[in-house]
Amino acid sequence: MSFRQFLNEMDSCGEVLRVKDNVSTKFDMSYVIKSFDNEGPILMFESVKGFSTKVVANLCGTRKRICKALGVDQSQLYPKLLEALKSPRKPRVLEADAFEGICEEPNLYKIPILTHFERDAGPYITAAVIHAKDPRGEVENVSIHRLQVLDEKHLAIRLVPRHLYKLWQNAKASGVDLDVAIAIGVHPAVLLAAASSPPFGINEFEIANSIMNNELTLIQCRNVDACAPMDAELILEGKISTTKEVPEGPFVDITGTYDIVRNQPVVEIVNVMRREDYIYQAILPSGAEHKLLMGLPREASIYEAVSKVVPKVHAVNLSFGGGGWLHAIISIEKQLDGDGKNALLAAFAAHPSLKHAIVVDSDIDVYNLVDVEWAIATRFQASEDLIVIPNARGSTLDSSADQETGTTSKMGIDATIPFTKPRDKFERAKIPVSVNAKKLVEKLLNISK
Ligand code: MN
């Protein structure tokens, strides 16, 4: 299934809200997206001020839509992702001549790229999936990076010291620039695979292909040695300079705070390949979609790691209040006291950016924060059930962490019921429900709507 097919399918399920009013890419579009952030529909901006291209946002803005894209229900989501991570499958790669769209001279000013927040340095591409090869062609990597528009042909790329950064360093050592394919408007499975973190050397396109049951086809770029999903809406062929750097930022990242200005490499765009009527995909930084795409692969890692130390993991939620990144709530079935703490340690090991983690019993709904707070209020004793780990490696996205080294204090809360205390003291009181009372409430709820 392609990006376009998924979008059409969502449209036929009533998940797409068409915005026919003329909307500016500078702040206005962001504001509209933000206003529909919580469980909101896909937004299709059909009339974009100064552009003839449509913009789609909030495509992967709910867990339900991501599950639909992957063809699984929520209970199968993590196993599906984990299975794909363990069984990468090489996708087909077609020659550039097979491309059915348009090739044209690059002009980034013709693309409706959003400026999101008040103090952002300018327009930023936020839904770009970037493929690159090691100079010797042995290692390939796919990842998501923010790209700041500098002029018609140049972007600044934020390279967090991870895999693409490593490839870029290898290119630098060989004295060459790094070829990249920048794909925008790709199937959610490709976005999720690119956001996941398999070991260096694993090609995330192969993970995506595995999630997509071998249906991913790639196309070789015309002017650079890199490839992109064949059905991407827009492909920018680029070269990351290994000599030219510029100040990049400020830019609002996942926590909704401004990331600092750093010197980052310049990407020169050398060619554009696109569908004739391409749709530009925007992801609002710190919006639900951003948090889900980044968070879900980490939830899967936490699910897997915690499953190894307790009998059963019910659910994991990297909650939105924690930026979908810094806070985890995990519901487990425990066998013995102490399992809760082992679950916390496993979670911290599985997701190094994790800062605060809460473990609850399986009767607590991890997506209902009132429920979680209630568990902490009635089942947790700080003197017994709290772990604090000072000076651990955390996330630089956390404003309170050491911005130089990323070290932070981690806190784990074991809010599971202790076996040493009488269980009936922890019972959540229930009201017996008669058929009549149930019907009455349904009627009253309908009236109040
Ligand atoms: Mn990688």
CATH number of the CATH domain containing 186: 2.30.110.10
Furthest-apart CA atoms within the chain: distance in Å: 77
Residue 255 carries which side chain, given as an amino acid letter? Answer: T
Same domain, 297 and 271: no
Q: Whole-angstrom Cα distance, residue 58 to residue 303? A: 25
User: How far is C-alpha 337 from the chain's CA centre?
Assistant: 34
Residues 113-158 have pLDDT tens digits of: 999 999 999 999 999 999 999 988 889 999 999 999 999 999 999 9
Instruction: Please tell me the distance between residue 283's alpha carbon and the centre of ligand 1 in angstroms.
Output: 21
Enzyme catalytic residues: 253
Q: Is residue 438 part of a domain?
A: no
Q: Which two tokens stand for residue 212?
A: 């997509």
Instruction: Please tell me the distance between residue 385's alpha carbon and the centre of ligand 1 in angstroms.
Output: 36
Q: Which of 246, 276, 306 is the last residue of a domain?
A: 276
Q: Which helix (H) or strand (E) holds 281?
A: strand 279-282
DSSP letters, 147-171, are: EEE-SSSEEEE---TTHHHHHHHHH
Instruction: Please tell me the distance between residue 324's alpha carbon and the centre of ligand 1 in angstroms.
Output: 20
Instruction: Please tell me the distance between residue 34's alpha carbon and the centre of ligand 1 in angstroms.
Output: 30
Same domain, 253 and 321: no
Instruction: Please tell me the distance between residue 203's alpha carbon and the centre of ligand 1 in angstroms.
Output: 7
pTM of the predicted protein model: 0.93
Phi and psi at residue 375, in whole multiples of 5°?
-65, -40
Same domain, 309 and 264: no
**Average pLDDT of every residue of the chain:** 96
Kindly list the protein residues that place their beta carbon closer than 5 angstroms to ligand 1, a single-atom ion. Answer: 141, 163
Same domain, 250 and 323: no
Give 246's pLDDT tier (boundaries 50, 70, 90): very high
Instruction: Please tell me the distance between residue 85's alpha carbon and the centre of ligand 1 in angstroms.
Output: 11
Q: With a cut of 80, say whether residue 449 has pLDDT above it.
A: no
pLDDT value at residue 328: 98
Same domain, 271 and 303: no
Lowest mean pLDDT among 13-22, 96-105, 343-352, 394-403: 394-403
Same domain, 189 and 58: yes
pLDDT value at residue 109: 98
3-state secondary structure of 331: strand
Domain that holds residue 368: 289-425
Q: Find the mean pLDDT for residues 234-254.
A: 97
What is the tally of structural domains in the chain? Answer: 2
Q: Is residue 442 part of a domain?
A: no
Instruction: Please tell me the distance between residue 268's alpha carbon and the centre of ligand 1 in angstroms.
Output: 22
Encode burial over 152-176: b for 16+ CB neighbours within 10 A, e otherwise: ebbbbbbbeeebbbbbbebbbeeee
